[in-house]
Amino acid sequence: MGNPTGKNGSSNGTVPSDDELVPFLETMNRQRLSMDERISRLKDHFGYIISQVKLTKLHNQFGIRSARQNGREMVIRDVITLVSEVKETDMFGQNGPNMLQQRISDKYGIQLPRRILRTADQIVDPNGAARRQGGIRRQPVSRQPLISMGPFNEFHADGHEKLNSKALRMGANLGMDIYGIRDKASSAIVLLQVVPNARLSDTVSNLYLDLAESLNGRIPIQWTVDKGSETGGTYALHKALRVVYAPDLDIRHHPPFVAVRSVHNTPAESIWRWMRQFFSIDLEVIIKEGLAQGRVVVGDAIHENLFQWLWPKIVQCHLDQYVQLWNNHRTRGQKGKNLPSGSVPGDVFAFPHHHNLSAGLSISVPLNALKVLRSQIETSREEAYRWVPDEFDFIAQRVYDHIGQPGLDAMTGWTVYEKMLPLVIQLHDEL
């Protein structure tokens, strides 16, 4: 039997391997959980029962430093350097101490106290605080407090079209959509994917099945969307799975699918509102600037295909960073909120019982059933996510490998594009 206190040399339950333990400790450190919270999560996740003394030893053993330790040991000059590097990509100067703290944690794995970051920010950007003050605001939409029993009670989904062909206005062949899905109770983002067209029902249906597979066959009780024709496929899929694998849930009291006006699909819509601040760069501006400068010859198949091959990958990298930032950051505390606040979305999603929410609300679906449903979608997954012809994908990948697989980042994306373009043209002509 495990020793509940972790003292006196008795068994501490199931001891995870270092390969399992270290990433878990690092994630909790990025989320800035308290020591008691970390001990509780280790017990829940691994069955590993330890004391604060043991946890501190593990942190020291694996080089996991707290904000307090780094605050004592790092000189302000080094902190200023980190802040300067992060703010280089803050095009609109919207990152204050809280956001700097989270971005430095995710990018460099370094925890720093807010007071030191505030000082460094004032040195690097003296007018930043004044610039971040809000101006005139529109009359807000009347809203009611969100209510949910726990994770998997309700997922909200929505598409984002600020980067599609109509928004970029550079021809029908240049552009991309983004589709996001968020858990209501925890506010965790469970999927954020760049796709060729989020208005196609088959594309959204494939995304639905992708998410269910990534969650090991778990689906929510309710699926909530905006009113749009692209949701017809997910309606059929989710309702069918609910009826078969959760027959005891009364659809009158727990509807499987709800369509609402966009302004009331708040959990999904707010993904886009926060995305600009978290990105610190405006992807739309960067892409449009490159197009306006004539880097892509509209109507030239090679130019257009290279854009469609490269830039969705760059955008997806930024989306992945945003999901990690959002799910690991601590939300603002709100006294009147029914759902958790002042908490970490990823932690609430993984450990809802520590936040006064119900656990075990997900509906389990066999993975084979998901495969059967996918086979019935008219457009295959490969076709729904196809950006360029297979022949061009082969050429572009060879060129990208040849130039050393440079990092995919919006700030250097056009440089990579221009480096690849002549080589792609040459290889295309040779083949």
Residue of higher predicted confidence among 311 and 161: 311
Nearest alpha-carbon partner for 410 in 275, 302, 299: 275
Instruction: Domain ranges for the chain, please list them.
Output: 18-64, 68-131, 154-384
Share of the chain above pLDDT 90, in %: 57
Pick the CATH number of 154-384 from 3.30.465.10, 3.40.50.620, 3.20.20.70, 3.30.420.10: 3.30.420.10
Instruction: Give the tokens for residue 265.
Output: 């699909």
**For 366-408, how does the pLDDT look when each residue is reduced to its tens digit (9 = 90+)?**
999 999 999 999 999 999 999 999 999 999 999 999 999 999 9
Instruction: Give the tokens for residue 235.
Output: 């309606």
Sorting pLDDT into bands at 50, 70 and 90, what band is 201? very high
Packing angle of the helix pair 52-61, 35-46 (nearest 10 deg): 90
pLDDT for position 313: 98
Instruction: Give the tokens for residue 254.
Output: 């727990």
Share of the chain above pLDDT 70, in %: 91
Is the pLDDT reported for residue 304 higher than 60? yes
Sorting pLDDT into bands at 50, 70 and 90, what band is 237? very high
Determine if the pTM surpasses 0.85: no
Is the pLDDT reported for residue 266 higher than 60? yes
